[in-house]
Structure 1
Amino acid sequence: MAKGFRQMLDEADALVASVSVEEMAQRTDDPALVMVDIRDPRELEREGMIPGAFHAPRGMLEFWIDPESPYHKPRFAQDAVFVFYCASGWRSLLAARLAQEMGLKARSLRGGFSEWKAAGQPVAAREGKRD
């Protein structure tokens, strides 16, 4: 029988470390961390993003991470901890698990961008494309 998304989330949650909004708010200037927003571009345009975050659409993640891919982004070759986030934390938890399986040091932002905003943390307008 196929796995449901709840089972997939539970498995990912057991394997991937999550960080709280409070912890990330204190570390946004830490060069050893790269915040990765995996939301759809329309979400970014509508709601903004965490200042300094790197946008990597969820649908391109595997291609951008793999150094053998013609779509590889050098940002993913950095020696850093990558903290993935989406709106609620579900997509980013699965993305962080995938990134971890591909060899990255990956974390997920617990509660996602919604919790970030609810906590009154800063939000920036989406900037142009970045690598």
Structure 2
Amino acid sequence: MSDQTHARTEHDLAPGEEEQHSVGERIVGYVVGLGLALLLTATSFFIAGTDLVWQPSIPVALIVLAIAQMGVHLVFFLHITTGPDNTNNVLALAFGLLVVFLVVGGTVWIMAHLNQNMPPMDQFIRMHS
């Protein structure tokens, strides 16, 4: 048994407990995130529809902007940070991504094998007529 007593201070937070912010601070965070998301969206549309950007670099630029927008959404709206209290959020996000990749990858795999193994449509019609 320990004789030491631990006094709780303002900054002594257990994992999972979040520091309380005022409503104004939270609204400012959401507005900044919305502004960044709108800026990235507008930039994506501008890059896709202009001739000012070197044409072969447009897909790479759109991918970079999409990844940046995912980062903005994760930080400003889903509040995913590197803190120890966000472990469950990160694990839930990773599991969700795993499920999405399995569903999309499985669908593409099945469609590719169906496309490879199905006879052309004119042969199919001749076989059944």
Same fold (TM over 0.5): no
Q: Which has the higher contact order (CA 8 A, sep 6+)?
A: 1
Q: Which has the larger share of strand?
A: 1
Larger Rg, first or second structure (1 or 2): 2
TM-score norm. by structure 1 comes to: 0.21
TM-score norm. by structure 2 comes to: 0.21
